[in-house]
Chains A and B, each alone.
Chain A
Amino acid sequence: MTDNDPLAVPYRERERSVTMERMEEQPVSGSEALVEGDLHEELFTLNIGPHHPATHGVLRLLTTLEGEVVRDIKPIIGYVHTGIEKSCEDQQYWKVITFVERMDYLAYYFNATAYCMSVERLLEEEVPARAEYLRVIHMELNRIASHLFALATGALDLGAITMLWWGCRDRDLVLDLFEMSSGQRMHPRYIQIGGVFEDIPPGWEKKVRGFLDVMPTRLDQYEDLLDRNEIWLERLKGTGVMSQERALELGVTGPLLRATGHPWDLRKAMPYSSYEDFEFEVPVGHQGDNYDRFKVRMDEMRQSIKIVEQALDGLPEGPFITSNRKVALPPRHELATSMEALIHHFKLVTEGFRVPPGEAYVAIESPRGELGCFVLADGSSKPARVHMRDPSFVNLQSLPDMARDSLIADFIACVAMLDPILGGIDR
């Protein structure tokens, strides 16, 4: 313990996030009547969460109010911290995939891909083209499912309960596809180091195409339902505005950054996993308000549909996982006839594979922004550190900037359109 250890300060003093000095600096906007009154009497601290349906998980928000106007927000997180990163250090590399998938629980294919790409970079393992395409197909379907769920719950926060049923109904179609291709609806552990777990089953492509045919109509229906709804427009347009400069300063990525007009998308800027093969556009907003965030997500779903169609059309033939038996399990039928396959299988299952010492940081574009995975290998069969740069964790810092000096109702809309996933924030 050093002298400047902040733990030396009593907890209650540290927790006192909003001081009176800070309040006095801020001019009162919106209501001239309040300027006349004594600010010290008007301030009111309200605790929202951790258990509240509008916080999208166990997020606690310590808000300071002046009447209906939010003056300051302090996000308090850690309620679902389960130490996944620590648990990963006790698992062999190929078993870690199961753990990282559970961080951002709506974007599991992205977590697994980011992790597998980091390990592949350390191993210098080439991924077959078919596996890259299958990853892209699954990630884009996952992006649609994640955006749909964000839209559904976000609309529920604003009182549009129809959107919850419709969004979850169509998200279920995607989950059915995942179930068919990998056996699980969520957290399927489909992405493997060196490729994917299995080739797609017969008939799957037809089902995906059926879904892709239906989805644009469904998106139009959502827009009919929401985009012409007076309440929806009133509550989203012009609320939660964040400037592009501030978003960049705060490290905000994903739809939130694109809503401010910055066309930053890792799929375009630094293509990975054969994204350079596909034609798609990066939708951007104009003002960076909640409405732009909603529109960007809607348009991104349309672009994802285009990408999946192209990937299905151009799906290359070939292996779906690397043939390096030191990394990937041998096919089941080889075990009965080949001694080497049996040995490799045994070694992989019992000890796992060793990864040469080194560090890798690989970032991909998840539905919420840049999802980076840092892996530190020490030469053993278990990682020495797995860290996820989760976009929700970073984006949450922008919530006070978005919602300051707006009404409580607008602040609920900000949380809805921020789309934080607490599993990813707390890990």
Chain B
Amino acid sequence: MPDATGLELIAQRVRSSVADEAVTGTSYFRGRATLEVAPHAVHDVLAYLQAGDEEPWDALMSLHGCDYLPEEPRFGIHYELLSMERTDRLNVKTRVGLDNANVPTVVDLFPTADFHEREAYDMFGVVFDGHPDMRRILLPEDYTGYPQRRDFPMGGEPVLFTFNENKYPRWYD
């Protein structure tokens, strides 16, 4: 992981090379360097970090979503970048809200993102614009809802005992 100073330098270079408003913040926590990026600039920033930067990050190892409910904007998309030469990792993160859950795809930069983006769409409903095949991957295609959202109920069946069998009439149906 780049240290906190190195992270600020990366953020500086991204700001000057891509756009000033592309970087919304940096955070350094437990040795994990996170570059926070505006959602519309994700593609440009990753293209710059992959090839344009003096310290390139050649591999995208993972892409995953998470739900920061009750924070706003609630969804986070994480890009775990890796440099095999410098054996270093950098996390790029973007946040999108429920009403504009759209992020540009990075499949053209990193073909490995194909399945990852489909999974993030499947689980959180974040649409990756420009993805060649944006549909559900793990869940059935007629499934409604996005189960990894924090407000999606856990579900499950009630466990039947003598004391509560009257509470669930016709449970055997």
Contacts and interface: CB of A to CB of B under 8 A. Distances in A.
Contact of B115 (A4, A17, A394): A394
Interface in B112-165: 112, 114-116, 119, 123, 127, 129, 133-142, 147-148, 150, 152, 154
A419 to B, nearest CB: 17
A372 B62 contact: yes
Nearest to A246: B111
Contacts of A124: 30
B48 interface: no
Looking at A5, A7, A370, which has the most chain B CB atoms within 10 Å of its CB? Answer: A7
A385 B62 contact: no
B43 interface: no
Interface in A235-255: 248-253
Interface stretch (A75-83, A101-109, A328-336): A75-83
Interface string B31-52: 1101000000000000000000
B140 to A, nearest CB: 7
Contacts of B134: 6
B19 interface: no
A81 B141 CA distance: 13
Contacts, number: 116
A269 B82 CA distance: 12
Interface string A2-22: 101111000100110100000
A99 interface: no
Interface residues of A, number: 49
A357 to B, nearest CB: 9
Interface residues of B, number: 46
Given A6-B134, A251-B60, A374 B115 contact: no
A81 B138 contact: yes
A389 B135 contact: no
Contact of B80 (A121, A264, A372): A372
B67 A385 contact: yes
B53 interface: no
B61 interface: yes
B64 A2 contact: no
Query: Which 6 A-B residue pairs are closest in the complex by CB-CB distance?
Result: A251-B112, A389-B62, A78-B138, A385-B66, A81-B138, A6-B134
17 contacts: A6-B134, A14-B141, A17-B133, A81-B139, A86-B152, A122-B30, A124-B30, A358-B30, A359-B29, A359-B34, A363-B80, A363-B89, A374-B64, A384-B66, A397-B111, A397-B115, A426-B138
